[in-house]
Amino acid sequence: MFEETDTPLFNVFLQQIEVFTRQDLFLRDLLKILKDSIRAAACSIRFIEEDRLSIGVSIGYQDESKRNHTILIDKKNREILNSSEPLIIPDITDTDKLPKRRKQRYKKEGFRCCAFIPLFVGNRKSIGILSLYFNRPYAIGEARVQILQIFAKMFAYLLHKSILYEDVQELKQLVESVVNFTTDAIILTDELGKILYVSKQVAAVLRKRNQSLIGNYVFQFDSPDTPHFEAALKKARRRRTGIDFSSEVKLAGGRKLFLHTSMVRLNLYRTKRDIFMWLMQDMTSLQQAELELDRKKGELEDFVYSVSHDLKTPIVSIQGYAALLKQDLYKKLNDTHRHYFDRMLNNTNLMQKMIQDLLELSRIGKLNHEITTESFGSILDEALEEFSYQIEKRKIKIIKLKRFPRVRCNRKNMSVVLGNLIGNAIKFSRKEVKTVIEFGSIRKKTELVFFVKDNGIGLTESESEKIFNVFYRTQESSGVEGTGIGLTFVKKIIQYQDGKVWVESEPGKGSTFYFSLPKKIAEK
């Protein structure tokens, strides 16, 4: 059945559908019933494969291994396949209906009588031949011929309703080719984690000889601090769903390997035995690239912080000297020069704010991102309280759910996100209509989505694509206070929680800003 040291992987798959696809088991049992009921010495079924007959299953021959070959469909076989009646040879030694070599072979096997029955399906489509052999001449009477025909029809019907033998062969070849050409390493273990089979790719991925792994346990890939493989096997015993995890494996010589492993539990139908299949991907190069990217991002953030900090000092100095000059000279200037002076002061103040925002942006990666379970509704209420004066003064209508889901987030960072979105909804409202701001959430299969919807001036399609860029400001925002970095803060904070942020908008009809949090984080 299933040898622990040398079983091709495709057998494990085939055993999952063996009731219909393992013809060597399915047909063997039926052939044995037929053989015993009519007292035949041997019998077999061959299937048509183009211009040949391949062996489907055989039973009772002295050396069945020699039967496992294909034969050409010669004139005699074609006559049998095209005939509606079985070919009965009462005495093999006294017939001209069989070739001489075949008669000699049958005689060597001890056969004296034989019968060949064509197998038909559908509109008399031939699919093969049922052959029976007896040790004595004239062993087939009229009653046995009828039994043979009934069995032949039953075989043909069941084969037609299930997967034909040639389909099984194609399935075997397909699974073998998938296993041989996939880049994943594949390991099969029993319910205790003992390795039963390893694919060719395991040696390349794990840098170990395949035979050295068979018989050992998959837990050898665990580290003492993080027993991922052991935990996955325990979890798989309790449930049927697949399991995915990432782990670090230490190889000989101190080299580290980063693996992404998917594990699935397979139940072998006939033996009721559980087998566990582990598919391993070598993610070392990708992990190293991500670490290098994180390092570069850290360097860039440090650079931005350093430049912003260095620029802050001269800007403050310019502001100070400009204030002194205004105090001493402003009254002596004409209107034109006063306008220039005001523009200079306003631009230095704006630059100072932009530099301060850059400093804050560069610090996001260094902020405390500790995740706690929080009430989203409570965070929203606190954020709205910060804008209570504007809301009351402008009689803004607030619509929100009575109850929001609890989320896993950093409370301070989430307050920054909501503060920026509420501030934008107020700043970019339309004067001619009553401002309405709506807050809601949507539960999806893998994530929680929150939204802030307004009926303000809206955005064009082009503006919607750029709105999260650093310092980007729309044409309508020229007279509105701000540097255009607020939504960049929102995007970076949400991305630090593996979330996404986007906007749907239409000019003159308002905007809806969405942000999502993965459920595995949000509802942990």
What pLDDT score does 6 carry?
37
Hey, what are 330's tokens?
Answer: 């402003």
Q: CATH 1.10.287.130 occupies which residues in the chain?
A: 288-366
* Mean pLDDT of the region 174-184: 63
Indicate if the pLDDT at residue 520 is higher than 80.
no
- The rounded distance, in Å, linking the Cα atoms of 336 and 333 is 8
Q: Of all helices (H) and strands (E), which one includes residue 69?
A: none
Decide which of 3.30.450.40, 3.40.710.10, 3.30.1490.20, 3.40.50.2300 is the CATH code for 18-162.
3.30.450.40
> What residues does CATH 3.30.450.20 cover in the chain?
179-282
Using alpha carbons, list the distances in angstroms from residue 290 to 167, 300, 358, 484, 494.
45, 15, 24, 29, 19
The ranges of the chain annotated as CATH 3.30.565.10 are: 372-522
Distance CA 299, CA 307 (A): 12
Domain with CATH 3.30.450.40 in the chain: 18-162
Higher pLDDT, 8 or 342: 342
* Distances from the Cα of 65 to the Cα of 55, 60, 62, 103, angstroms: 11, 11, 9, 20
- Domain topology for 179-282: Beta-Lactamase (3.30.450)
Answer yes or no: is pLDDT of 163 > 50: no
The answer on pLDDT for 240 being more than 50 is yes
Q: What is the mean pLDDT of the chain?
A: 77
CATH topology of domain 288-366: Helix Hairpins (1.10.287)
Write down the pTM of the prediction: 0.43
Q: Are 81 and 68 in contact (CB under 8 A)?
A: no
Contact 109, 62 (CB under 8 A): yes
| pLDDT score at 112 | 92
Most confident of 11-15, 225-229, 434-438: 434-438
151 Cβ contact list (under 8 Å, min separation 6): 30, 34, 130
Q: What is the DSSP string of 454-488?
A: E-SS---HHHHHHTTSTT---GGGTTSSS-S-HHH
Note the CATH number of domain 372-522. 3.30.565.10
At 299-308, the pLDDT tens digits run 666 666 566 6
